[in-house]
Structure 1
């Protein structure tokens, strides 16, 4: 569990500092994505306690005052690669990776995470977001959903105005270097202040360092180009990590990057052509054979719509399973296929949600 905590902590802090948020990308996805939602919830809790980690390291009186926490928003595109390696006190190691690509116009991101979901887990989680649409793959199936208008895959940096002023004095300026083809300012933090309760990572902390390279070119904003983080300690039990290493790199800045929907996933929102949907459908989620969305139309309008349009689409029925105030459940058939249409209205808000479950 501690290994998961640390992986999620580092992901949260770095994704925040890179102005690319994973928080909220799973919003609206039900059932199939519950595990991913739990991960996101845990990340948000940890971020509240640790939000000064990368920011503090990258803004000192030694010259990091030029660091712009929202600088990546100004780039047309870039790739980010993060590698985290855990060495346990028994000598075994584990490695987690996160690879992302981002474009600003159109606003899009493509992220692949490996080994993030638990011990001995080599599975992959892939997320593609283009404008207000996203596709998530966990296992073999793709989950389609819409992204709320207030979510932005290319931004949402943390608020650096609340940085701990004392921490800004600990960054040491090591001069200029060229990293990933970009001229940078190089900073070192080796003070125990920055070990972030590292006892939880490695047992009894012995030492640790973090190095940060910030872009220092006339035609580029001052964004984080590379981070190296390392901490060592004495393992206290068989589950404790003895050493933790992390590297993060930003590359391919302002190059031609193309992000497209997954070819394996359904197009057009993921719903089959013969499944009617109300024209104002929003907050859509498609998970394999389950389609969910909301409508601003009233409950009876939605019931009448499906009574008419399912027949027009070639479905036979309906067989009414349940019908009461603000709740309707109907079964339809078409050849060897089945469709259960569930319509629920909220008495208090008037909101109407529709879930369609397909089968054979």
Structure 2
């Protein structure tokens, strides 16, 4: 059976060039980066070169990049430090953030009695920047705003520059989970004033189990767990050398070909939208995912005009991989917490599927997917 992978927001296939770098590193960089002998120094030098190169894509210094096991750890590192070490007593967020943020915020509220303010979400899954500004103007303590740049389920784009400006005007810290954006959008952190951001390599054709946190210079961050002074004392644990170098290569490939890749992926998304509308006149698109100006070109959340509780299973049996929401919730029967937040009751009853694309997808795969969906149309 030929397979079609349309779940790239969950994870992306690792590119051959990245695998080659990882394999070579396993032979050449087996030393512990904390060791002082030549094998350790070689591994350490490779890490620091990767850190410098990664920092350059965002116009920041290498000392502001902290390597982690991925986006979830990076979000935890930042949010917990904001409350425990930076004096934040109010967190402003939304109920459609990734659970790496939502569950961490819940923990911090229970453990440290902080105030949590959830922004209202409109019928398309957008926040109001006016409401954000009003809320921050009334905060008396120290506030942190945590809003993701690209929503992982519906692809909505946060007006990140505007939010950054609002935070700066109100002396609030700004953390953005940028996991779905890094490798797909350019971001100059000298122009967009973020205090913290997070990334995960497997979202842009790198390996799993590695990512990084950006921590703006001047924000003191202490490790979540103890046992060593790696990552300048911020993150204890021997660095994942091979994966860090793989992430560096994946990022190089992403940013060197971003315009070409975007044009290709946008073409696939547009074609899919047009074909869905042509075959299923009552089809709808959740959030802003139909709009290329206000959503990521990599995500399309489709609300089909029928109910099929086994849709994902049925697609899988046909060799097509997609998602009903966040991959981290794929084993849950609770449904999407994102869609549940803003869809009307009758809209929730319909079957929604998240399709997400990469440069490895083709128009032919989209045509096959359309034909399979037609088999299920009742």
TM normalised by structure 2 equals 0.25
Q: Which one has a larger percent strand, Structure 1 or Structure 2?
A: 1
Q: Which has the higher contact order (CA 8 A, sep 6+)?
A: 2
Q: Which one has a larger percent helix, Structure 1 or Structure 2?
A: 2
